[in-house]
Amino acid sequence: MKQYYTISLMLVLFLLNFEIEAQECNNTHSTTTEDSWLSCTLTPNPNPARSSSHWVQYDLGYTYSIASTKFWNYNVAGATAQGFKNVAIDYSLDGITWMTLTTFLLSEADGLVDYLGEDGPDFGGISTRYVLISAIDTWGDGTCAGLSEVRFDLLPLGVELSAKVMLEGAYNPSTLLMDDVLRSQGVIPTSEPFSSLGFVAVNNAVTENIAPALLNTTGNNAIIDWLFVSLYAENDPGTVVATRSALLQKDGDVVDLDGVSSLAFSSVAAGNYFIAIRGRNHLSITSLNAISLGNASLTTLDFTSSATAVVGLNPRKNINGVLLLWAGDATADNIVNASDRAQTWNMRNQSSYLISDVNMDGQCNAADRALTWNNRNKSGN
């Protein structure tokens, strides 16, 4: 299950260009300076909580879930006193806000060709993109500090979300389902509608198109519209880890582009995430708690139930105990206010797949104006 990635320390001045290589694990390290990294100039540490120091910053390129680590200290024969001694490990999702994992004592290397290195601290599955390794001191050298190699054991990527939500605009209290009028009118687009509305995709390589035949499905699993789903980092809730466009079934199931499967985030590490869901013209909700994805059996997160807590005061509309995303955002800015009412007025008497059609019946008319007015002064969370 686990993958091993070796980050070779290749120093170009002090700004690091490093490589990630998969390698055979022979677990020994040479004694040559070419295989090592050495800093002899103190420079400002990327973590402002630390003073100028000798440090190495890794950018893993994506957010990964890190498990164990392994360290090979500076192993040049006769110069092992330049090796890191007390070492601080910090990590960050964005390279700006840093959290400290731990500090630990790294043994001095033996300077021999069969030097084995040693196990470093375990990240315990923390999801992060940047790792910062700083020397607090060395094994005796007062000027330079070096390392040979660090290995991060990464957990595999890919998680799935099984969620249920209901949109107020399409909700039918008599059936306890959403009406699929846009589908039956044949106006739901076969490409995700969010890019053109200014929604920002993050860490998503999926081309989000659907087969037109998928919109022929009727019944409880009929597609009623597209949804936008975001995952936020547990340890940095302001940072979006990844987004996906999803499809919404009549019975509230949030599904992937085949119309039936759980929603996949293929480049997201297993871990805990805050989950946000938003419609084109419905306000977003965000889970109050970070939800475990990828580590356990798939359980459906039911946002129509008060048992699934979300952020904010009155963040969902309650119709007979069924909790719905608020309708009325005809301008796709995640706020309902006078601008939305103006938009529904300006687009009156138009039909088709319209942002201003907040009750999702394929028409923009007085009913949509009334709905934006009734939900005025609300914003998404």
Residues at the interface with Ca ion (CB under 5 A)? 221, 249, 251, 253, 329, 331, 333, 335, 340, 357, 359, 361, 363, 368
Q: What gap in Å lies between CA 22 and CA 5, rounded to an integer?
A: 5
Compute the least distance from the CB of residue 54 to Ca ion, in Å: 51
- Our CB check for Ca ion shows the closer of 146 and 315 to be 315
Q: Are 358 and 328 in contact (CB under 8 A)?
A: yes
Compute the least distance from the CB of residue 99 to Ca ion, in Å: 35
Compute the least distance from the CB of residue 265 to Ca ion, in Å: 20
Q: Could you give phi then psi for residue 338, rounded to 5 degrees? A: -60, -30
The whole-angstrom distance between residue 93's C-alpha and the CA centroid of its chain comes to: 10
- Our CB check for Ca ion shows the closer of 28 and 352 to be 352
- Our CB check for Ca ion shows the closer of 217 and 292 to be 217
Q: Are 28 and 70 in contact (CB under 8 A)?
A: no
- Our CB check for Ca ion shows the closer of 69 and 375 to be 375
Q: How far is CA 150 from CA 54, 76, 121, in A?
A: 15, 16, 11
Q: Which amino acid is at 320?
A: N
- Our CB check for Ca ion shows the closer of 151 and 341 to be 341
Compute the least distance from the CB of residue 268 to Ca ion, in Å: 23
- Our CB check for Ca ion shows the closer of 11 and 322 to be 322
- Our CB check for Ca ion shows the closer of 174 and 377 to be 377
Residues pairing with 339 in the sheet: none
Q: Are 200 and 358 in contact (CB under 8 A)?
A: no
Q: For 251, left (φ over 0), alpha (ψ -120 to 50), or beta?
A: alpha
What lies within 8 Å, CB to CB, of 357 at 6+ separation is 169, 281, 363, 364, 368
Compute the least distance from the CB of residue 336 to Ca ion, in Å: 6
Q: Give which of 152, 73, 85, 67 is closest to 116, Cα–Cα.
A: 73
Compute the least distance from the CB of residue 282 to Ca ion, in Å: 11
Compute the least distance from the CB of residue 168 to Ca ion, in Å: 12
Q: What gap in Å lies between CA 73 and CA 94, rounded to an integer?
A: 27
C-alpha triplet 249, 192, 283: angle, nearest 5°: 65
